[in-house]
């Protein structure tokens, strides 16, 4: 599909939308129905709405409908208010942008209008430091060279200025002509690709003779960019409103479901099935009792001629009674605490990077607990593990190595002498360094030259050339000026063959202004340049230099050039122009034409650039590996460089402790044999554990073949391997590898810093972006952004682990307190004729759910089972979270049993003490409710590991508020509880009953907890003991030995074969839940995890085998 934009022609301007921006989700008229529709798309909300509607049927409702409608309306109101507030802020932002004043050309003169009134085809005039209001094709600037500078930080996060240039067909037009310009732009329909614009422009006479001129992204000014260092610029509006590239990029990302959310959904489903079973059984029993025993009682009166639906009354009553088994407040509670977890990350001063003034930020507030369950980290290299501060260190020119002795080629006397003596090879090498790039030189008022580069490699090369007296002074349009040894050299830049991830090289065509000779300058990866050498050139020296530099961890680039004849260039230029004019498959056609020119190159030499590791990277990786997390490095660098960096940052170990297995090959057969050999080695190693660490290395070429033909075998290899290095990979391959690990049911975290990492970051369960020198694209696309890689340790071990622990307790406690009150109702039915009668009144039930039991548990957001220092010193305890030890069917069964036991205790003690002729129903109800509140206060207190004033106030302040509120209600004559609380509290039997319920209810719980803590402690228990006694702080080695001594029942542990990861086994062997996969052995189908595509014979490599 194409769009034809007629320049400055009002007759066609109504064919497309105006420039009004709208990011709002709702309008004033559709807010209520649309918001309710979105909320009721959730199963739980549909369920509670059904329950609330059933309660409107007075014949079946055992309680006042307000007990469900009240909390439901409050929950919906809170969600709707939040949505309305967010949408209102978006409306205000849109209004400010739409009403901003801009200049357009109309009837040959400039006119001031609001930005929202711009139409496609209008000529828009932008002044310095103004924001671009829509997507424009640049037609003129104040600069005679036809260039302008723009800041694109709001679009892609890159802070360096970019140069935009007018198309050649508009060159030479003055301001008067720009007001009257006419023509047509042929462009694609709107899309969100901010790096691509394949279009053509044709101006109508008298401006030019109908010649078609190709347009690229470099000829555009995109919405939200700012014009800098340029007095004015003008352009034709091609995309407006929400059809701009920025507008098309907006949208709500797909919500991510955490492992804990998935488990909560399964548990909710299980409770729902249990509830249905209870309803069927009790409803049937109630109907049987009614038809047999009830009719014998004088005080029970049933009509003999009942309507047909009477058989449904008792089952539906029990459905309403049991509806609170699924806590109505769990969604709001989880959303609230998860928002707080995100704020804790934002407020964490220890994750603030002072060097770049960058705080940590949680863009996604819903997945913090997933950080504690990460099993695989897939990381970029450049800018993520390294600083992305490129320093030119060494080079090889014409077979001569420079910088070997000093480690700095710029100080190498031999190279300096070669520059002074005008060595031909050195001059060519430096010329390519200075001109084969997209760097923009900027001269300050004092005459000092600085460079603005989109690539740190290019910046390092141009600065190195400048230090060697090959100074790029200016680059205006198609002209470049070089100063070399006090000589001025002028070049005309004819064409730029841009770098792509497929070509892995870039080239520039220049013409020497003095001699008129045409040269092709090329630079790129060694495998992209060396095969293009002219026949007969000896390149072994360059290959050896590449290997040598790579082993030092240096980034290498090959530089080459070739002289062209005029006729060859003209013929090629015609093909290049045709390819550049294509609207379909332009990139592929351009690459094909480039190949026709990039051949028989004269290889000039190799540059070697140092990119230092960030501070703290080796220590961070080492600690995270100890926690059971596996690492994959995905990089575009060559194999040897990546391996060297992996060794430096503790990603892999050097021989003999570690061994690398290589998957190489250029053909399918070679790759298949290599993959088979590596896979066989991994199988043997996994079945016979050794001390040696194995990792595999694969390059992009072999990986492409593997992902196409041998994906199943590679998936098996991924399961068996703890560490992998993938070299020369493209952005799409990075995303494919993340997807592959996700298919194996692993929790993945992807971390990167550049635009080429965005797809990988968005594909992973958790995406982390580093605010680096390559801009903020990765940080903006990520769930979390941090300033440096080392903060990842704290993000996972501290914030991730605490979030998982707290959420696990809160979610299970929410079910516990709902099941407790529901079981009491069920037990009461056995002494009330199984009629579905409610023991509690409506006000008490509503207050119980919304206030009495919800506030105390929210204080768990401050709970810490271990100090941050202990957690970071003992990273292996993260395995409890990875294995899902705190929330699974086993732990939930414990809470389920606890709620049933506590309900039996509360009911039996209450019924035996107060079920006599002198006790009212309201008294019995209040005693049972009081006992439940007492038990829950003790349960929350017992489960807390640390106490602050806020936690104390939340638990016991709320406990006191229970009595204050009920005293207040009991003093109201019209209330159904009039004087009840006063009478109860004057009776010693009430307080004795509360103490008895607390003692009998909490006694076994305390005893079991004491037994486990004393005689069968987990690793966490031992660390807690050490903290509280201020004894020795156990670490990796002595913690394991202490566990073996303290845990007499772990004979299986002591008999395990010794291996490197032996410290992991004690941490998992003290529980039957060794991993999330063990859930599959449950007899409940609803707990079955998603079917893994991994053979069952291959255990997770972080778990004990």
Kindly state the helix (H) or strand (E) to which residue 82 belongs, with its residue range: helix 66-98
pLDDT tens per residue, range 750-770? 998 877 788 899 899 999 998
- Among the listed ranges 278-292, 313-327, 908-922, which one has the minimum average pLDDT value? 908-922
**Of 884, 777, 800, nearest in space to 362 by CA:** 800
380 is known as an active-site residue: yes
> What does the pLDDT average to over 933-938?
93
Q: How confident is the model at residue 238 (pLDDT cuts 50, 70, 90)?
A: very high
Cα gap 327→943, rounded to integer Å: 20
Dihedral of CA atoms 512, 518, 523, 526 in degrees, nearest 10, equals: -140
What number of residues does the chain have?
A: 1105
Question: What tokens appear for 17 in the block?
Answer: 């939308």
Given a cut of 50, is residue 738 above it in pLDDT? yes
Q: How confident is the model at residue 247 (pLDDT cuts 50, 70, 90)?
A: confident
Pairing of strands 630-634, 723-727: parallel
Given a cut of 80, is residue 527 above it in pLDDT? yes
- Of residues 156, 380, 457, 753, which has the active-site annotation? 380
> What does the pLDDT average to over 650-661?
80
Given a cut of 50, is residue 868 above it in pLDDT? yes
Given a cut of 90, is residue 301 above it in pLDDT? no
Question: Which positions ≥6 away from 782 have C-beta within 8 Å?
Answer: 363, 761, 767, 768, 769
> How many beta carbons lie within 10 A of that of residue 33, not counting itself?
10
pLDDT at 306: 64
* Highest mean pLDDT pick, 196-210, 608-622, 1055-1069: 608-622
Given a cut of 90, is residue 124 above it in pLDDT? yes
Name which residue leads in pLDDT, 1069 or 288.
288
Cα gap 678→703, rounded to integer Å: 14
Given a cut of 50, is residue 744 above it in pLDDT? yes
**Cα angle vertex 807, ends 73, 82, to 5°?**
35
Q: What is the DSSP letter of 1057?
A: P
Cα gap 403→415, rounded to integer Å: 8
Q: How confident is the model at residue 210 (pLDDT cuts 50, 70, 90)?
A: low
Question: What tokens appear for 725 in the block?
Answer: 């290095």
**Of 236, 171, 202, 151, nearest in space to 477 by CA:** 171
pLDDT at 905: 95
Given a cut of 90, is residue 33 above it in pLDDT? no
> What does the pLDDT average to over 493-518?
87
Cα gap 401→415, rounded to integer Å: 9
Question: What tokens appear for 510 in the block?
Answer: 């220049």
Q: What is the residue-averaged pLDDT of the chain? A: 83
pLDDT at 62: 67
Given a cut of 80, is residue 369 above it in pLDDT? yes
- DSSP letters along 863-918, please? --SS-HHHHHH-GGGGHHHHTT-SSSHHHHHHHHHHHHHHHHHHHHHHHHHH-STT
Give the C-alpha distances (Å, rounded to integers) separating 1054 from 481, 1048, 1051, 1062, 1069.
75, 10, 5, 10, 11
Residue matched to tokens 């990089």: 635
> How many beta carbons lie within 10 A of that of residue 547, not counting itself?
15
Given a cut of 70, is residue 1069 above it in pLDDT? no
Q: How many distinct helices (H) and strands (E) make up the chain?
A: 40, 33
- Among the listed ranges 792-806, 949-963, 1056-1070, which one has the minimum average pLDDT value? 1056-1070
- Among the listed ranges 319-333, 635-649, 1000-1014, 1087-1101, which one has the minimum average pLDDT value? 1087-1101
Given a cut of 70, is residue 884 above it in pLDDT? yes
Q: Is 600 helix (H, G, I), strand (E, B) or coil?
A: coil
> What does the pLDDT average to over 871-890?
90
Longest Cα pair distance anywhere in the chain, in angstroms?
A: 122
**Of 371, 377, 381, 379, nearest in space to 630 by CA:** 377
pLDDT at 1034: 52
pLDDT at 775: 60
pLDDT tens per residue, range 659-713? 889 998 888 898 999 999 999 988 887 776 666 688 999 988 889 899 888 999 9
Cα gap 423→62, rounded to integer Å: 98
> What does the pLDDT average to over 603-628?
91
Say what angle helices 424-435 and 413-420 make with each other, to 10 degrees.
90
pLDDT at 298: 56
Q: Is 696 helix (H, G, I), strand (E, B) or coil?
A: strand
- Among the listed ranges 333-347, 501-515, 642-656, 733-747, which one has the minimum average pLDDT value? 642-656
Q: What is the DSSP letter of 862?
A: G
Q: How confident is the model at residue 54 (pLDDT cuts 50, 70, 90)?
A: confident
Q: How confident is the model at residue 157 (pLDDT cuts 50, 70, 90)?
A: low
pLDDT at 606: 94
* Highest mean pLDDT pick, 29-33, 170-174, 850-854: 29-33
- Among the listed ranges 96-105, 526-535, 646-655, 784-793, which one has the minimum average pLDDT value? 646-655
pLDDT at 156: 66
Cα gap 553→541, rounded to integer Å: 19
Q: How confident is the model at residue 206 (pLDDT cuts 50, 70, 90)?
A: confident
pLDDT tens per residue, range 57-66? 777 776 667 7
What is the pTM for the complete model shown?
A: 0.78
Cα gap 378→880, rounded to integer Å: 21
* Highest mean pLDDT pick, 278-287, 441-450, 834-843: 278-287
pLDDT at 1094: 38
């Amino acid at each position: 599909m194409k769009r034809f934009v007629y320049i400055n022609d009002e007759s066609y301007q109504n064919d497309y939308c105006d420039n009004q921006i709208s990011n709002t989700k709702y309008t004033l008229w559709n807010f209520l129905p649309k918001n309710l529709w979105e909320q009721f798309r959730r199963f739980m909300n549909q369920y509670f709405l059904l329950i609330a509607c059933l309660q409107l049927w007075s014949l079946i409702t055992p309680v006042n409908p307000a007990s469900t409608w009240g909390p439901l309306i409050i929950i919906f109101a809170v969600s709707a208010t939040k949505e309305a507030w967010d949408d209102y802020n978006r409306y205000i932002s849109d209004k400010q942008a739409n009403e901003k004043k801009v200049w357009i050309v109309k009837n040959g003169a400039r006119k001031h209008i609001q930005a929202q009134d711009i139409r496609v085809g209008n000529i828009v005039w932008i002044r310095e430091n103004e924001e671009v209001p829509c997507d424009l094709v640049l037609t003129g600037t104040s600069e005679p060279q036809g260039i302008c500078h723009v800041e694109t930080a709001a679009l892609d996060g890159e802070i360096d200025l970019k140069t935009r240039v007018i198309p050649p067909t508009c060159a030479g037009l003055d301001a008067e002509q720009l007001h009257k310009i006419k023509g047509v732009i042929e462009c694609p329909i709107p899309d969100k690709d901010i790096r691509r614009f394949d279009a053509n422009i044709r101006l109508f006479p008298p401006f030019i003779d109908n010649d078609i001129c190709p347009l690229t992204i470099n000829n555009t000014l995109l919405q939200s960019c700012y014009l800098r260092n340029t007095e004015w610029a003008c352009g034709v509006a091609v995309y407006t409103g929400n059809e701009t590239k920025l507008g098309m990029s907006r949208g709500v990302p797909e919500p991510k479901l955490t492992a804990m959310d998935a488990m909560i959904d399964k548990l909710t489903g299980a409770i729902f099935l249990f509830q249905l079973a209870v309803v069927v059984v009790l409803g049937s029993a109630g109907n049987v009792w009614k038809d047999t025993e009830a009719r014998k009682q004088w005080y029970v009166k049933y009509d003999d001629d009942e309507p047909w639906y009477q058989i449904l009354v008792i089952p539906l009553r029990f459905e309403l009674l049991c509806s609170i088994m699924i806590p109505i407040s769990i969604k709001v509670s989880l959303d609230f605490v998860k928002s707080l977890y995100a704020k804790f990350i934002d407020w964490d001063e220890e994750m603030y990077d002072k060097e770049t003034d960058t705080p940590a930020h949680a863009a996604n507030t819903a997945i913090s607990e997933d950080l504690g369950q990460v099993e695989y980290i897939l990381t970029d290299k450049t800018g993520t593990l390294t600083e992305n501060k490129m320093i030119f260190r060494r080079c090889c020119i014409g077979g001569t190595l420079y910088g070997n002795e000093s480690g700095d080629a710029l100080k190498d006397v031999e190279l300096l002498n070669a520059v002074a003596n005008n060595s031909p090879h050195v001059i060519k090498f430096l010329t390519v360094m200075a001109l084969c790039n997209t760097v923009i030189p900027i001269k300050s008022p004092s005459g000092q030259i600085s460079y603005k580069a989109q690539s740190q490699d290019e910046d390092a090369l141009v600065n190195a050339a400048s230090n060697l007296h090959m100074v790029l002074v200016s680059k205006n349009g198609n002209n470049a000026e070089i100063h070399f040894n006090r000589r001025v050299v002028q070049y005309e830049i004819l064409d730029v063959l841009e770098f792509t991830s497929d070509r892995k090289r870039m080239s520039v065509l220049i013409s020497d202004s003095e001699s008129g000779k045409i040269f092709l300058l090329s630079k790129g990866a060694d495998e992209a340049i060396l095969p293009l050498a002219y026949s007969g050139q000896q390149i072994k020296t360059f290959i050896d230099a590449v290997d040598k530099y790579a082993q030092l961890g240096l980034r290498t680039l090959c530089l080459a050039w070739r002289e062209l004849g005029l006729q060859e260039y003209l013929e090629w230029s015609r093909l290049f122009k045709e390819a550049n004019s294509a609207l379909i498959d332009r990139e592929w056609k351009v690459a094909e034409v480039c190949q026709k020119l990039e051949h028989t190159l004269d290889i000039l030499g190799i540059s070697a650039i140092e990119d230092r590791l960030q501070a703290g990277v080796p220590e961070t990786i080492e600690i995270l590996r100890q926690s059971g997390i596996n690492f994959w490095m995905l990089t575009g660098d060559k194999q040897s460089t990546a391996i060297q960096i992996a060794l430096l940052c503790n990603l892999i170990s050097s021989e003999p402790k570690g061994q690398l297995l290589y998957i190489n090959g250029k053909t399918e057969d070679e790759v298949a044999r290599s993959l088979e050999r590596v896979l066989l080695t991994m199988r043997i190693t996994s079945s016979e554990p050794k001390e040696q660490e194995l990792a595999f290395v694969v390059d992009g070429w072999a990986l492409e073949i593997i992902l196409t033909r041998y994906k199943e075998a590679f998936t098996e290899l991924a399961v068996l391997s703890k560490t992998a290095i993938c070299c020369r990979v493209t952005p799409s391959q990075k995303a494919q590898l993340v997807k592959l690990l996700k298919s194996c049911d692993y929790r993945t975290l992807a971390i990167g810093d550049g635009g080429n990492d965005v797809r990988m970051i968005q594909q992973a369960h958790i995406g982390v972006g580093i605010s680096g020198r390559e801009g903020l694209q990765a940080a903006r696309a990520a769930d979390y952004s941090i300033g440096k890689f080392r903060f990842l340790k704290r993000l996972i071990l501290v914030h991730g682990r605490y979030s998982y622990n707290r959420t696990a307790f809160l979610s299970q406690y929410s079910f516990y307190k709902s099941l407790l009150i529901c079981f009491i109702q069920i037990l009461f039915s056995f002494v009330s004729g199984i009629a579905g009668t409610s023991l509690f009144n409506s006000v008490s039930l509503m207050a119980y759910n919304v206030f009495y039991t919800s506030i105390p548990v929210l204080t768990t957001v401050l709970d810490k089972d271990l100090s941050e220092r202990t957690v970071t010193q003992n990273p292996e305890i993260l395995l409890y979270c990875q294995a899902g030890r705190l929330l699974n069917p086993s732990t939930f069964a414990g809470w389920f049993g606890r709620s049933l036991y506590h309900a039996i205790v509360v009911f039996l003690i209450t019924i035996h003490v107060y079920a006599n002729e002198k006790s009212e129903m309201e008294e019995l109800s209040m005693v049972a409710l009081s006992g439940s509140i007492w038990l829950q206060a003790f349960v929350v207190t017992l489960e807390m590991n640390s106490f602050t004033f806020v936690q104390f106030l939340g638990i016991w302040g709320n406990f006191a508020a229970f009595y204050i509120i009920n005293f207040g209600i009991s003093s109201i004559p019209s209330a159904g509880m009039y004087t009840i609380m006063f009478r109860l509290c004057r009776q010693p039997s009430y307080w004795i009953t509360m103490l008895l319920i607390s003692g009998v209810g909490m006694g076994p719980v305390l005893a079991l907890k004491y037994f486990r803590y004393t005689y069968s402690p987990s690793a966490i228990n031992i660390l807690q003991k050490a903290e509280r006694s201020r004894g020795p702080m156990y670490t990796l080695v002595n913690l394991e030995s202490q566990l073996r001594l303290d845990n007499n029942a772990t004979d299986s542990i002591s008999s395990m074969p010794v291996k490197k990861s032996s410290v992991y086994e004690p941490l998992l062997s003290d529980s039957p839940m060794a991993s999330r996969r063990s859930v599959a052995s449950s007899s409940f189908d609803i707990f079955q995890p998603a079917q893994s595509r991994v053979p069952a014979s291959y255990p997770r490599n972080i778990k004990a085998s």
